Amino acid sequence: MTGKLGTDPLPQTEIQGRLDRLLEQVQEAGKRQVGYPTNQDFDYSAVLPFLSHSLNNVGDPFHSSNYQSNTHAFEREVINRFADLLRINPDEAWGYVTSGGTEGNMYGLYLARELFPNAMFYFSEETHYSVLKNVRLLNARYIMIKRQESGEIDYDDLYDMVRVHRDVPAVIMATIGTTMRGGVDDLDRIREMLSDLAVTNSYIHADAALSGMILPFVDDPQPFGFDAGVDSVSVSGHKLIGAPLPCGVVLTKRSHVERVGRAIELVGVRDTTLSGSRSAMGPLMMWYALARNGDEGFRRLVAGMLDTAEYAVGQFNERGIPAWRHRNSVTVVFPRPPEDVIRKWQMAPEGEVAHIITMPHVTREMIDELVSNCAA
């Protein structure tokens, strides 16, 4: 029997045929990928030789390990670079390269729960779907807050809910670039709210999956980093940076992590991360991309994405389709098109709206064809 895995090895011709068909399918899909924030334009051929080795970044990247086939040194450089981007002194920062945004969000909320076991957790209905799952896994008390039409959290509803529970610590999940509408929660306003309510024990985690690599490279960013009062931030690596596998960074204050770490004799490491064995390729790829691009490269990349987003809004509007985007956002929102258009362009709809995200691989020619399809 052929066509599926069994007890006997498959013929090599069938194995190669399956792989060739998958590659063709993926290449074709990439030509019309506009709905999800994953950069398709990257080249990691320089790190391919490392796939011939069993690399493992088990444990804390800032401590030595008995397992020496790792990329901890590169991971530390990635963390220190993100500390600069997210406006915290690298000496005061700690973090690690995660499997993506869900793990990064989980880690931030886990730290908050360890610091304040009796806290109430607050997050918007616009928050990434992983957050509800995370707070349930943590068995934390939570209140889901309304969202504004813009995608930002409803500050009045948040104020009312925190006021009711002002006798317990507040853990607030802020979003720096919401998934559907690209809204940026106002960190200054959230901190002022906590101060006004005299909430002395609080923790703010920021999900900056996409915008965490946009706002550091624009001239007039909304508050997004540690200088705006956050305690931890999660940023994705496979989104703006681009990678062939999901990855990301979670960054926090070193003082917070000291509450959760413990030594593990078996592998000679300090256990501070959520996972035990961790990918060593993610840190290596992120290091390579940061090294190749530098600040100027990412600044050009971001400027090009924002320019394409503005072009898309203009093209939609010219055809009578009311599209819009937030300042410093590459997420273009417009009325939900027919299902065949959604499937063709791999869009992410929600209710009556859909969006496209102008990642580096999205060209004006793609926008023109897409707008034409939506207007038909």
Note the pLDDT tens digit of each residue in 182-213: 999 999 999 999 999 999 999 999 999 999 99
Structure tokens at 124: 């918007």
Give the pLDDT of residue 260: 76
- 202 a catalytic residue: no
Catalytic residue among 99, 232, 279, 329: 329
- Decide: helix, strand or coil at residue 28: helix
Give the pLDDT of residue 276: 85
Indicate the pLDDT class of residue 3, thresholds 50, 70 and 90: low
Q: Are 37 and 69 members of one domain? A: no
Structural domains in the chain (count): 2
Structure tokens at 99: 């499997």
Q: Are 281 and 322 members of one domain? A: no
Q: Are 306 and 273 members of one domain? A: no
| pLDDT higher than threshold 70 for residue 1 | no
Q: What is the CA 29 to chain-centroid distance, rounded?
A: 22
Measured CA to CA, the distance from residue 230 to residue 206 in angstroms comes to 7
- Decide: helix, strand or coil at residue 144: strand
Domain with 281, as residue range(s), is: 49-291
Indicate the pLDDT class of residue 261, thresholds 50, 70 and 90: low
Question: Residue 260 is which amino acid?
Answer: V
Q: Are 85 and 211 members of one domain? A: yes
Q: Are 285 and 301 members of one domain? A: no
Give the pLDDT of residue 6: 83
Convert the pLDDT of each residue in 301-331 to its tens digit.
Answer: 999 999 999 999 999 999 999 999 999 999 9
Give the pLDDT of residue 264: 42
pTM above 0.85, yes or no: yes
Mean pLDDT of 175-187: 97
Q: Pick from 253, 255, 275, 252: which is nearest to 264 by CA? A: 275
Give the pLDDT of residue 269: 58
Indicate the pLDDT class of residue 263, thresholds 50, 70 and 90: very low
Q: Which of 232, 257, 291 represents a domain boundary (last residue)?
A: 291
Measured CA to CA, the distance from residue 156 to residue 190 in angstroms comes to 10
Convert the pLDDT of each residue in 122-160 to its tens digit.
Answer: 999 999 999 999 999 999 999 999 999 999 999 999 999
DSSP-assigned beta bridge partners for residue 232: 205, 252
Looking up tokens 């969006």 gives 355
Give the pLDDT of residue 86: 98
CATH number at residue 39: 3.90.1150.10
Indicate the pLDDT class of residue 262, thresholds 50, 70 and 90: low
Mean pLDDT across the chain? 94
Q: 212 in a domain, yes or no? A: yes
Q: 14 in a domain, yes or no? A: no
| pLDDT higher than threshold 60 for residue 268 | no
- Decide: helix, strand or coil at residue 6: coil
Q: Are 285 and 299 members of one domain? A: no
Structure tokens at 90: 């690298």
| pLDDT higher than threshold 70 for residue 37 | yes
Low-confidence winner among 7-11, 228-232, 359-363 (lowest mean pLDDT): 7-11
| pLDDT higher than threshold 60 for residue 255 | yes
Q: Are 265 and 137 members of one domain? A: yes
Q: Are 217 and 106 members of one domain? A: yes
CB 141 within 8 A of CB 119: yes
Indicate the pLDDT class of residue 271, thresholds 50, 70 and 90: confident
| pLDDT higher than threshold 80 for residue 349 | yes
